[in-house]
A and B are shown apart, each in its own frame.
Chain A
Amino acid sequence: MCAGCDRAGGGGVNFPSPEFDGAVAAVCDGSVLERQAEELNALLRTDAAARDEYLWRVELHARLACDADAILGRDATAVSEPAPVAQISWRRAALALAACLAVLLGGVWLWPRAASQEDIVELVRATGSVSWSSEDGRVRPALEAGARLSEGSLTVEGAASSAVVKFRDGSELTLSGDAELSFSDHGKKRLTLRRGAFSADVCPQPTGHPMVIRTPAAEAEVLGTKFSISAVAEQSTLSVETGRVRLRRLADGATVEVASAQSAVATLDATVKMEASSRGVAAARWREDFRTKPSELWQGSWLPAEGAEPARMATVPHVAATRKDGTKVITQAVSRKDSSAGRIVSLMPDSVLTMKFRMQRSKPVTVLLSRHESSGAFAGNYELVVPPSTGQTDASGWRTVSVPVSSFIAKMRGYQQPPSGGQVSLVYIVCYDAKAGMEIAGVAIESAHAGTSTNP
C-alpha cells in the first residue's frame, strides 16, 4: 500500500477528530484524496455539527483568499516585499479585463489554465531539469515542487535530475535520470514512457480501471502495487516490488505475470521467450580502469593508454538543469548507468568510493550516486562534493581520492541518510567549470565484504 493511501486513513471520518481536521484542510488546499472525499461526504450528510464546522472553516479560507488585499495587503508591506497600490489594483482588474479581451479577440481563451483542462498530478519534489509540455505545444520549463500539471508530458533531463509526481488518489511516480513520460487520467490513468525509467507506488485503482503503462515495446496493467519500469530503445524492463503486474509484449501480444521480487524484459523480438524471473543482486565491489573501451553504458570520451599516460575518460557536456527562460545549464561529466542485466554495485555500510582523476584547473568535483532498493524502487540521488585539496596527487598530476559512501548526502528530502543498502544505478562525476578539463583514470565502489561485480 502506498504512503499516500495510508495517509487517507480508513474506516470513516469522525467529528471532531484529527482526521476531520486533515480532510477539511486537504479540501481547502486542493489535495483531498478520493477516499477522504467519500468519507467526508458521508459524515457531512449525517452530522449537522460537522457540517457547520466545515462551512466555517471553508468560509474563513475563502475570506483569506478573496479579501487578501484588505486583510493581508498592509501586512505584506510590513513583513514581506512592498506591495505597490498598482499591483493590488492590477490583481483585481486583471481578471475582468482578461475576460473581455478573450471575447474581443475572437473567443480565444487567453488564460494559462484553460477551462477544459484539469490538474492531474502535483510535482512533489524536483531536482535538476524538469519540464512539462502539452500536445498543443505549450511548455512549462524549470518546474519547481508544488507545480500542478494537467494532461501532457513530463520531461526529466540530465542523469542527475529527478522528479516525484503524485496523482490525486495518492499514487506516486518517481522519474530519475533522462526520462519522458506522458500521462492522462480520464477515469483511467494512462502513462506512456517514451524513454528512461520510473518507479511507482500505485494506490488500488477502481475496479475495471487499471493504470495502463505503455512503452515502445510493452504495455503493463496495474491495479495497485509497487514496481519500476524502464524503457531503453526497443527494450522495456519491469521489476515488481509488491503485488503483481501483467506485462504484454507489443510485438506479438504475449503476456507474462510478474510477481513480487520478479523482473521481466520485453523487446520487439517476438522470437525471444518472455518470462518473469527473480532479480539478481549486484556484487558489492565494482571497479573500472578504462583499459579496454568502456561499454555504451558509459558517457564520456574514451582515451586509450599511450606511453606513460593511462587509459582514461574525459568529460563530455551534460544537461544539468533548465533555466526559467528555457536555456540549459551545461556541465562537464562522465557517467555510468546500469543495464537491464543489473545494477552497478550493491552498497554496504563500509562501501568506499575511490576515484583517480586529473584536472587542468583545480576545481571541486561532484560525485552523484543514484540508489535503488533491491526491490527495484528508486531510493534517492546522493552527492558528495570533493574539494580541490582532497586526496593524494602524484608527479603526473593524477589525484586519488577515497571517501566512504556513507558521507554522501541525499539531494532530496525523504530518502534514507546515510545511504546504506540498496544498489547503485548511476555513477555521475561532474565538474561545473566548463574549462576544468577533467579526466578520470579509474573509479571504484568497494566493500571489504564482497566479490567484484562483473557488470559490463
Chain B
Amino acid sequence: MNPNPPLPPDQPRFLRLFLASEREVRRTVLAMVPSLADAEDIVQQTAAALWEKFAEYDEARPFTPWACRFAQHHTRRWLERRAIWQRLLEHGLAEELTQRREALRPEMERRLAALEKCVEKLPEEQRRLVTGYYYDRTGIGALAEAQGRSVEAVYKMMQRIRQALLECVRAATAQEVEA
C-alpha cells in the first residue's frame, strides 16, 4: 500500500475557493456564536464538511453562499448540543437575529469600513491588547498575566475598547454624512 497517496486533483481548486470565502464563513458563524474558540471549532467542522461534499458543488453557482449555508447548518447542529447557547438563542431568536443581520448588512458594510482607522486611533496600550486578543489569539488569562492585571480587568478593558470602537465607527459615518 502506498503510504503517500496522490492528492486529489480537486484539492487546489477547493483551497482557492475556500480561502476566498473563509472570511465570510467565519463571519457567518461568529454572528451566531461570537465566542472565538467555539466559532473556530464550527469553522473547522464546516471546512471538513465542505471538502467531503465538494464533489456535489455546482461550479455554475457562487461558492461563498454554498459554504455559508454549510456554516449555518453546522452552527445549528453545534448549538443543539450546547445548553448555554441554546438558552441565549432559543424561542426563535436565532432566526430573528439572522434575518435582522441580513437587513442591516449594507449599513454594517458601510460603517464598519471605518474600523481600521478607528483601531489606528486607539492608544497604543489598547491597540496592543486588541492585537493580542484578535490577531495573535492570545487568551485573556495570558494577556492579563503579561500586563500584570487581573483577568476580570482585562475582560472589562476589552469591553470598553469595543464600545469605543463602535462609537468611533458611528461618529466617522456621521461625519461622512455631514460632509
By a beta-carbon cutoff of 8 Å, the part of chain A in contact with chain B is 21-22, 25-34, 37-38, 40-41, 44-45, 51-52, 54-73, 75-76, 79-80, 83, 92-93, 95-100, 102-104, 109, 111, 113, 115, 118-119, 122-125, 144-148, 168, 187, 413-414
A80, B169: Cβ atoms closer than 8 Å: no
Interface residues of B in 69-115 (CB under 8 A from A): 81-85, 87-93, 96-97, 100-101, 104, 108, 112, 115
B22, A95: Cβ atoms closer than 8 Å: yes
How far apart sit A72 and B132, CA to CA, in the bound complex (Å)?
Answer: 10
Known: A28-B35, A56-B108, A96-B22. A115 touches B15 (CB 8 A): no
A147, B139: Cβ atoms closer than 8 Å: yes
16 A-B residue pairs with CB within 8 Å: A30-B37, A32-B84, A41-B90, A41-B91, A45-B91, A60-B165, A62-B31, A67-B115, A68-B135, A75-B120, A75-B127, A96-B47, A104-B7, A113-B44, A123-B141, A145-B142
B85, A95: Cβ atoms closer than 8 Å: no
A76, B140: Cβ atoms closer than 8 Å: no
Known: A34-B83, A41-B87. A144 touches B145 (CB 8 A): yes
How far apart sit A115 and B38, CA to CA, in the bound complex (Å)?
Answer: 10
* Closest Cβ neighbor of A30 among chain B residues: B35
Known: A21-B163, A51-B96, A62-B30. A72 touches B84 (CB 8 A): no
Contacts of A63 in B (CB 8 A): 27, 112, 115
A25, B158: Cβ atoms closer than 8 Å: yes
* Closest Cβ neighbor of B108 among chain A residues: A59
Main secondary structure on A side of the interface with B: helix
Min distance, Cβ B179 to any Cβ of chain A, angstroms: 22
Min distance, Cβ A51 to any Cβ of chain B, angstroms: 6
Known: A44-B97, A59-B101, A67-B23. A124 touches B127 (CB 8 A): no
How far apart sit A224 and B151, CA to CA, in the bound complex (Å)?
Answer: 25
Contacts of A68 in B (CB 8 A): 134-135
A60, B120: Cβ atoms closer than 8 Å: no
B51, A100: Cβ atoms closer than 8 Å: yes
A146, B144: Cβ atoms closer than 8 Å: yes
B147 within 8 A of A: no
Known: A61-B34, A75-B127, A145-B151. A118 touches B116 (CB 8 A): no
B162, A57: Cβ atoms closer than 8 Å: yes
Contacts of A37 in B (CB 8 A): 84-85, 87-88
Of the residues A58, A70, A97, A104, contact of B31 by C-beta under 8 Å: A58
* Closest Cβ neighbor of A83 among chain B residues: B135
A65, B112: Cβ atoms closer than 8 Å: no
A100, B97: Cβ atoms closer than 8 Å: no
* Closest Cβ neighbor of A206 among chain B residues: B83
Contacts of B38 in A (CB 8 A): 30, 119
How far apart sit A244 and B36, CA to CA, in the bound complex (Å)?
Answer: 38
How far apart sit A147 and B92, CA to CA, in the bound complex (Å)?
Answer: 33
Interface residues of B in 134-166 (CB under 8 A from A): 134-136, 139-145, 150-151, 155, 158-159, 162-163, 165-166
Interface string of B25-61 (1 = CB under 8 A from A): 0110011001111111101110110111000000000
* Closest Cβ neighbor of A42 among chain B residues: B91
B68 within 8 A of A: no
Known: A96-B14, A99-B50. A25 touches B100 (CB 8 A): no
A115, B88: Cβ atoms closer than 8 Å: no
Contacts of B40 in A (CB 8 A): 113
How far apart sit A395 and B97, CA to CA, in the bound complex (Å)?
Answer: 80
B131, A55: Cβ atoms closer than 8 Å: no
A113, B41: Cβ atoms closer than 8 Å: yes
By a beta-carbon cutoff of 8 Å, the part of chain B in contact with chain A is 5, 7-8, 11, 14-15, 18-19, 22-23, 26-27, 30-31, 34-41, 43-45, 47-48, 50-52, 81-85, 87-93, 96-97, 100-101, 104, 108, 112, 115-116, 119-120, 124, 127-128, 130-132, 134-136, 139-145, 150-151, 155, 158-159, 162-163, 165-166, 169
Min distance, Cβ B5 to any Cβ of chain A, angstroms: 7
Min distance, Cβ A288 to any Cβ of chain B, angstroms: 36
Min distance, Cβ B74 to any Cβ of chain A, angstroms: 9
B131, A79: Cβ atoms closer than 8 Å: yes
Min distance, Cβ A37 to any Cβ of chain B, angstroms: 4
Of the residues A25, A56, A93, A147, contact of B155 by C-beta under 8 Å: A25
The 5 closest A-B pairs by CB, nearest first: A146-B141, A30-B35, A146-B139, A145-B141, A62-B30
Known: A144-B142, A147-B139, A168-B84. A31 touches B155 (CB 8 A): yes
Min distance, Cβ A154 to any Cβ of chain B, angstroms: 15
Of the residues A66, A99, A118, contact of B26 by C-beta under 8 Å: A66
How far apart sit A58 and B94, CA to CA, in the bound complex (Å)?
Answer: 13
A79, B115: Cβ atoms closer than 8 Å: no
Contacts of A55 in B (CB 8 A): 31, 97, 100-101, 104
Known: A30-B37, A65-B30, A75-B119. A97 touches B15 (CB 8 A): yes
How far apart sit A255 and B124, CA to CA, in the bound complex (Å)?
Answer: 59
* Closest Cβ neighbor of B42 among chain A residues: A115
* Closest Cβ neighbor of A36 among chain B residues: B88
B93, A57: Cβ atoms closer than 8 Å: no
Min distance, Cβ A104 to any Cβ of chain B, angstroms: 7
How far apart sit A25 and B142, CA to CA, in the bound complex (Å)?
Answer: 18
B134, A28: Cβ atoms closer than 8 Å: no
How far apart sit A64 and B50, CA to CA, in the bound complex (Å)?
Answer: 25
Known pairs A61-B30, A73-B135; list 6 more (Cβ under 8 Å). Answer: A34-B84, A61-B34, A75-B119, A76-B135, A80-B132, A99-B48
B36, A30: Cβ atoms closer than 8 Å: yes
Contacts of B169 in A (CB 8 A): 60
Contacts of B39 in A (CB 8 A): 65
